[in-house]
Amino acid sequence: MVGNLVRTILSQNTSDVNSDRAYASLRERFADWGAVERAPVSTIESAIRSGGLAKTKAARIRRILRSIRETTGSIDLGFLKDMETPEVLEYLGSFDGVGPKTAACVALFGLGREVVPVDTHVHRVVGRTGVVGTPTSPERTFDALEGLAPDGKAFSLHVNLIRLGRRVCRPRVPDCGGCPIRSLCDVGSGRRSLS
């Protein structure tokens, strides 16, 4: 689960290709998370450079690993399995650089919790559809989506909203004509103009 957290931090503000490359390089360079925590920030930075924002992310990752070890006695997040989802999100969100999206990604992908992380694609699609009104921020979109996914469907909803946002419901020129949910969408059906 520590790997989920680090991988998600590396994915911030970069492409999947670059973050995957940075994560692979980090895992190749260091034997375990303890070795990352003990390493100089510059060495971590060198390992994750391909992911972008390496200086910031290297310091952040080391600081988080150190904090986990200092508060739990080891660099292990297994104890999160015994916590309720709101507690998991609060704990992870207490780390500098871990916002609602990153915490929700760890909860969904690492723990299998029924949360829908909200990135720019999910926020855009949900805002345009009007399913939960017109949320003004990703955080409000996350709050509005809470409990809306049918049991066992949070993962597929998240992945499919991202796919729809990347391929069809693009930021500037959405392909409303090719949208599979056009009739359900405020913008696509013409009930509201694109803003």
Give residues with Cβ within 8 angstroms of 120, minimum separation 6: 138, 165, 171
Give residues with Cβ within 8 angstroms of 128, minimum separation 6: 169, 174, 185, 186, 187, 188, 192, 194
* Encoded tokens for 192: 């509201």
* φ and ψ at residue 36, rounded to 5 degrees: -65, -45
Is residue 153 part of the annotated active site? The answer reads no
Q: How far, in whole angstroms, is CA 66 from its chain's centroid?
A: 21
Give residues with Cβ within 8 angstroms of 174, minimum separation 6: 128, 168, 187, 188, 194
3-state secondary structure of 131: strand
CB 109 within 8 A of CB 156: no
Residues with catalytic function: 101
